[in-house]
Structures are given as structure tokens and as C-alpha cells.
Structure 1
């Protein structure tokens, strides 16, 4: 192969030097040509090729080693793949890019035992001054032997003078110590907010677990990271994606300050990953300053060399199954009398979706429980009947615990289910306990969703969705 390439290059160089190559041929020359590969094109036939030519940011040819030869010029770099496999860069349909960044500079509790996490907190306390916040994410009590929520006392024993906030793997509850509860002003007299819950002991005392919106009195007090530390985390998140073959992704809900940090890295030329960013709404039923800004500014499409787009919004309809905050139509199988937490009233969700339609933005709503899913479907249908849009591409993020009727209706209405396959494995130890043997048949039901006629948006990164 090396001799063949040398002959091709020598021949083309000779023709150029002797004026036998036309301007059209020179315009065809690629910057880089890859040959002798096992290239998956992922076209409709899933055909394979052995060569490809690249010019600028575009593939200008994909095919055989012989037919790529006209793209090889005197300045073309030719790379022999030695029959290695090449696939297109993967696209992740749902992750949280700034969240990845912060997690990579915090305590990593993913797939760790409670004892391991407590040891990591203790080590962090030794590195911090009293009063400094200690943050982390990833704990999952369903993986622990006792399968129970942890308590503030366990953190108090090793971190009495530092506020500690550890976010659960699903992002819908936090484990905090007494110092954090004190700073947030949460006591036995604190009422549960709409869309959240303070977990309490038999005496009504907060145990140290705060669900969804109940976190806000504490998390709102956490001082922001410096701009440089956030940028460092974003670049680490980019490398995490690239190391897994992911070159583009949908960021499922960011606020204006994070979006501006991302844009500054693009402007510096340090961010290469392609991002489709959803703008996060405000708290409760409020539009929020980030959405107000973008509704006034309008969408941003294909910025920084077609690497950055903002034209959709993210709404949070409920919580998660693991935290028992996903909104269900019937009681939790393992917690009678509890149906989870809706984040919006019907009127609030309608107003937000109607507002997005008015401004021409794509809508995506987080809805895990069948109650939140039904609320979202009904709201989408109502708004689209009032103001039709044929190719709306509105989505339900997660679509996890559905009913047969909901599966049918989203297909008929053209609502796109964005379902994360990794949730089937992460939730396998508790999902049936939460919903029981009847409802589990329509939970995580990719085949039923596909057979009904829907297209599923999926993801690849288990830790960041």
C-alpha cells in the first residue's frame, strides 16, 4: 500500500509540475485522505468503505482506495488506517454538559459504597477550611446493602464545620449535613414546597435528604465556582466525551451563565465538541431570565463553525423514580399514599409551552412518571391545536414509566420520546419495586414505543443524563 501511495503521489506531483493538472482538479484536492480502512458509513444500507477524503470540515468523498486517488494532491496528507475500523462520531441525545464539568471537579460518588463516599468526604474536609462547601455527586442507595437513604448524622460525624451537599446519581435529591440544613434554614417546621419534599424521621426532623425543589434553600447558597475553574471543568467534560467517541450532543437544559462560559471557550478556539443547547426555564412556573433573554434575542444556529446551536427550551415536569419524585397516576408500589411530585400545575405548563410556541422554539419536557407524561401530552396537544405546527419535533425527555395509551398518543401526535437506555440498567434494582409488576410492563418499553411508530432519541453516556 505504501508503494502504491508513493506512486500515486509521484504521478500527481509530476503532472502538476508539468502543468497537466487543471484548476478543477486542484480544487478537488483534499487536505487529508484516509485509505485501507474498515469505514462504517451508517447509510441506509449500512455499507462499508475503505477510503475517505476530507477538505476543511467536510467529507468530500467516501468510497474505495482506487476512486479516492483523484483527491490526492501534492499537499494532501495520506494516512494508512491499516484496516482499522472507523465510525462516525457519536451523538448523545441527552446529557448535561455544564453538569459534567462540575462533576469532574467534585467528589465522584458514582458506583461507590456509602463507606467509600464518607471516606472521600473526610479526605476533602482535611483539605478545606472550616465553612468551605464540600460538593459531590453520584451516590445511589439502591446499590448499597441496606438500600436506605443515608442521613445527615453520618456526614455530621466527619464534617461538623463544613456544609456538605452530595447529589444523588439521578440529580433529583441531595444528601446534606446539619451545617447545610442550617445555612438553608431548613427545620422541622419547614413545609414541603411544590415539586419537592423534605424527608423526615418519625419525629418530623429533617433526615438530610432533600428531594427536587426542596433542595433550593440549600443549593442556592452554594457560592459559584470561578470562571477559570468552570472552564477547566468544561474542557475536561469535552475530553470525557471525545474519549468515548462522542463528538456532538444535546445539552438538556442550561442557564445563561453556563451558556456564556461555553461560548467564551468556543471563541478562544478551545471547545471543539458540537452542542445543541436547550435553554432552561426558571423556578416553579416562571419563564426565568435565561429564557427571557433568548426569547428577546432569538435562536442561535450554527455558530463557531457549525458547532453551537440554541433553539429549544427545557422544562422540568417531575422528578425521578429512584428518588420517588416522578409523578405517577397511582401510588408508588413501595410507598402507599405517595404519587410523586409534579413540578407544574396544568396552567403553568400550558403557559410555558404556549409561550415557547409563540416565539417559535422547540419544546422538550422532562417527564418520567406516567402522570407527568400525561400532563405533558395533554398540554402539547392543546397548544398545537390552538397554533398548529406540522413538524414541531417537540419532545418528552425520558418517557420512562408510560401507559399503553400514552405510547399510542405520542406516536399519533408526533411527539418524540427521548429515552435513555442506560436507565434500564441503572434502575433495574429498584424500578419494579417502585411501580409494581403491572406498570413495569410499559416502563422502559423501547420496543413498544418503536412498534407504535415513534422514533426514539437515545444517548451513550450513563453518568451524565
Structure 2
């Protein structure tokens, strides 16, 4: 089937021809992009047996959104199995929602834990602190409970959950700063970072086949928001020991046309043993996959989150001088892991929020480029929130991608000066600085830390305001509309080495595009948040229609 797109207001993301009114799609690729007369002339020279005309009614058309960093499988599991704790304004409300879920929804015969996701103690109006095991025990000591902070770097377990994970007064010491205790040395249920990740990976969960069906079903949620491509960190959200089976199932589902969302896996491999299994035992690299599903890079975590004060800083936190956060690795170990990925010509992308962690990541990438300069994988730093000017300049010098989540300022603008001080805070969230320097800066959401909806992120990027309109936070980092849209489409394709095939409405590129009811270039700021996706196309086929 050939498509003739007419009467459209097309933002092509192609700098050679930024605007068009019509396009022809043949076999899942754009064959002609231009005016209606140009596309009509093309079709007269290249007549098509089956031609479907799409009259866009003058509506805005652009390439599909590409979320450059999220956790799709985590989102899917949360949609199906977790209690929603987002929006809780008190500790009391968190406990109330969990108690209600236990009484009304929880089925212990399934063998799953009672889990909840999305609380943020900074929004509590009663006590601004982490919950503890004692409070969760007041809900139940018979069944295991785990509740996860919105950043997903902190979790809290009840005593039954700790019993199942063998965390007690005798064992808690082995976890160091990653497991908190009461004054008497008894674990209080709070777990952090790598320990938290390991426990999440060990939770009972549906099998791979069932998870695959859930992932296929949830595609529609993303298509409804205009997302046609994602880059997703999922290894730790697969059933323990079955990540490679999950990858194979996704590849097959994509080949059969059941999984249509274009997905690039960011494989979390935090240890040399994990890399041994990936590269040596399974023989994986970034050649695994197909046009829809592929493995793109190695993912590492170098620190925690700003809200939980586990992001690693070069100096102590302004509002808690007793801590600089948590560095997951020593510099030598991080260097070694990045170099291991680099030696396979595979990008390493590293979670880093604090300026101390960003510095370590830049050093590790610099070391890899120095040791093996003949290889040029597209390394990156995910989040890169707290930075000074010199660090931002090093991104350009070392050719490091800055994976940015503009929607983060909706929360962070209200805490960052308290956490790190005005001087350092004012050089952070440096989106415009990266782009002015020529650093590749793809946008994303870190879903389910934030909603995967792209439009709130675009609004934050072009206004430097929170979603209630407060601000501007950093006026010098405000982006123009075209740049923000480019970062949410074409820039994402660069990360996965697909900049010549995806992310633009241009001849020879994938026909992944969306139709919206608002012109995102010229509408008012608030209308960005109100805009609706009318239709979403992947590979030239409509996968969503409002």
C-alpha cells in the first residue's frame, strides 16, 4: 500500500528542507517529500497500483517521537501489578493506598509481592521522610511488601519481605550504606541503589512469555502519545536469569510483526561477570536484532538520585553536609567496565546525576578513547543534571552524548538550589549549552520515573517552567521549538546509529510519523500541553487513530 499524504503542515526535521506540505510513502519508506505538486509529479512518473490518500486537514505532521531513555518493561509490569503511589501528599496516604490494595486487589495465590511505586517524600505534608518497615508491618506481616520511591533508587520493605531476602540484624552489615538500620542495628526496611536493583530482579514475577504479551499490549499506550521509538533499560526487570530469553522473544515478536514499537535495548551490565556472560557466553553485541528490536549499548549506573541525596557530588550536599551521595564504583573499576564495552566497539551509556559522578564518567570515557582510539562507539551519560561549565565543555571534547530528560525540572527546580546551592544549580540542566557546543542531546523521560508523554518534556524545554507554569527556572537554557522537537526525534536516532534511516520525514527514511491537532512550532506554550496526537504511523502503517 502506498500513502499520499496531502494538505499537511509537515515539520520534516530535515535541515535541508525544514517544511513540506505533502509526502509519498512506499513500502514503509518516504519516497517523496515536498509540495503537493511535487508529490503529484512523482506519482505520475512512479504510478502505484494501490494508493491511499490521507488528507491531514492542514494539521501538524512530524516524525514520531523517540524516547532516548526509559524502562519499558518496568512500566509494563507496574501497569499490570503495582499499586499506584504517584501523587501521594502524605506518608499516611501511601500507607492507606497500600492497605486498600491489600484488602481489595491483592491475590496471594499468585505468589507475587504486594508492590507500590511512585511515592516521593518531598511531597509529604505530614513527615518528609522515608517510610519504614514498622509502618508497612502495620499493614501486614503475613505477605511481603515493597514500595518504591519515584526515582527507583530507594525502596522500603516490610519484615516479611526482608525475611524472604535474608536481610536481618546479622546480615544487614554486608550491604553497608545501601541498607539502613534503626539505632539498635536492626534493618529498617530502606534499601538503596544496587542492593535495591538486585532485590527487584529477584522478585516473583510473570514468566517471559506472559511479559512479552504484556509488552505487546502496552504498545498502544505509547502510540497514543506519538512515540514510535524507544531506548529502554530492561535487563534487571526480566525474570532473574532470563534476560537473554526475553531479548530473543522480543526479536522474534518483532520479526513476526507483533511487536511494532521500535525499541533499542540499553543492556544493564553492572559487573565484569555480567559482561562476560553478555559478550563471551552469549556472543551478544550491538548486531543483535532487526529493524524493530535491537540491542544498542551497555548501560551502567554510577550514582543515585538527587531527590534521595544519593546522586554523587564533588562536595557535600548543601542541605545535608554529612553526605556527598553514593558513588557506585571507584574510578578504576568504572574505567575498566567502560573500556570493556569500548573494546567491543559498543557504546557505554552511564547513569550520572551528581557532578562527582559526571566527572567520573567523563574520566572513564576519556580513558577508553585514549586506550583504544581506533574505535569510536557513541558513549553517553544519562541524566547529566548537575554540572559546571567545564564539564559541559568536556562532553564536546570527548564526543559524549548527553541523554536529557527535560521534564525532570518539573520537580527538580524546586529542590536543586537547596540540594547543591545556587552557584552550581545555575550551571546545571545545561540543555542549551550542550546544543550550542554541538553535543548530541536526545530527549527522553526515564519512564516510569516520569510519564512517557513527550509533550510535557517539550513544554519544559521551551519554557524552563514546571507543569503548573512556575518559573522560568533557568531562562538561559530555554530552547526554541524546532530544536526541542529535533531533540525528541532525529537526535534519538543518532544514539542508535540510525540517523540516516530514522527520525526525519525525508526520502529514504522510515515512514514513522504522527499527526497532531496543534502546530507545536507556533502554538502557545500551554497549548503544547493540551495537544493531542490524532494518528500514529509506524513503517507507513497506522498503529493508532484517535
If the TM-score is normalised by the length of the shorter chain, which range does it land in? Answer: 0.7 to 0.9
**What is the aligned partner in structure 1 of residue 101 from structure 2?**
124
Select which of 127, 137, 141 maps to 2:121.
Answer: 141
| In structure 2, distance between residues paired with 1:424 and 1:192 | 36
CA shift digits 1:297-323 (9 cap, x unpaired): 4432661xx112223111111111122
Q: State how 1:394-413 maps to structure 2 within 5 Å.
A: 394-413=379-398
**What is the aligned partner in structure 2 of residue 260 from structure 1?**
248
Matched, 1:111 2:92: no
In the TM superposition, what is the alpha-carbon distance from 1:390 to its structure 2 partner?
A: 6.7
Select which of 137, 146, 162 maps to 2:143.
Answer: 162
In the TM superposition, what is the alpha-carbon distance from 1:171 to its structure 2 partner?
A: 1.3
Q: State how 1:329-340 maps to structure 2 within 5 Å.
A: 329-340=314-325
CA shift digits 1:402-435 (9 cap, x unpaired): 1232122222111121121111113233222221
Matched, 1:274 2:274: no
Is the contact between residue 280 and residue 290 of structure 1 (CA under 8 Å) also seen in structure 2? Answer: no
CA shift digits 1:177-230 (9 cap, x unpaired): 121122222234412636x52223344333322111232564354123223431
Is the contact between residue 146 and residue 155 of structure 2 (CA under 8 Å) also seen in structure 1? Answer: yes
- The DSSP-based 3-state class of the residue aligned with 2:146 is strand
Gapped runs of 5+ residues in structure 2?
236-242, 451-546
TM-score (norm 2): 0.73
**What is the aligned partner in structure 2 of residue 101 from structure 1?**
76
Matched, 1:245 2:226: yes
| In structure 1, distance between residues paired with 2:446 and 2:54 | 30
Select which of 70, 76, 79 maps to 2:51.
Answer: 76
Select which of 278, 284, 288 maps to 1:291.
Answer: 278
| In structure 2, distance between residues paired with 1:384 and 1:218 | 34
Matched, 1:191 2:173: yes
In the TM superposition, what is the alpha-carbon distance from 1:391 to its structure 2 partner?
A: 4.2
Q: 1:409 to 1:99 in 2, by over 3 A?
A: same
Is the contact between residue 97 and residue 237 of structure 1 (CA under 8 Å) also seen in structure 2? Answer: no
- TM-align CA RMSD: 2.5
**What is the aligned partner in structure 2 of residue 44 from structure 1?**
15
| In structure 1, distance between residues paired with 2:184 and 2:202 | 27
Is the contact between residue 37 and residue 86 of structure 1 (CA under 8 Å) also seen in structure 2? Answer: yes
| In structure 2, distance between residues paired with 1:259 and 1:110 | 30
In the TM superposition, what is the alpha-carbon distance from 1:295 to its structure 2 partner?
A: 7.0
- The DSSP-based 3-state class of the residue aligned with 1:138 is strand
Q: 1:429 to 1:147 in 2, by over 3 A?
A: farther
The more displaced of 86-95 and 100-109 is 100-109
| In structure 1, distance between residues paired with 2:411 and 2:247 | 29
The more displaced of 214-223 and 100-109 is 214-223
- The DSSP-based 3-state class of the residue aligned with 2:54 is strand
TM-score (norm 1): 0.85
| In structure 2, distance between residues paired with 1:128 and 1:90 | 37
Q: 1:449 to 1:299 in 2, by over 3 A?
A: closer
Q: 1:115 to 1:160 in 2, by over 3 A?
A: same
**What is the aligned partner in structure 1 of residue 372 from structure 2?**
387
In the TM superposition, what is the alpha-carbon distance from 1:393 to its structure 2 partner?
A: 2.0
| In structure 1, distance between residues paired with 2:76 and 2:68 | 18
In the TM superposition, what is the alpha-carbon distance from 1:119 to its structure 2 partner?
A: 3.4
Q: 1:389 to 1:167 in 2, by over 3 A?
A: farther
| In structure 2, distance between residues paired with 1:331 and 1:420 | 24
Q: 1:46 to 1:161 in 2, by over 3 A?
A: farther
Q: Which has the higher contact order (CA 8 A, sep 6+)?
A: 2
| In structure 1, distance between residues paired with 2:276 and 2:119 | 31
Is the contact between residue 99 and residue 464 of structure 1 (CA under 8 Å) also seen in structure 2? Answer: no
Q: 1:294 to 1:272 in 2, by over 3 A?
A: farther
Is the contact between residue 332 and residue 339 of structure 1 (CA under 8 Å) also seen in structure 2? Answer: yes
| In structure 2, distance between residues paired with 1:371 and 1:38 | 45
Select which of 156, 169, 174 maps to 1:175.
Answer: 156
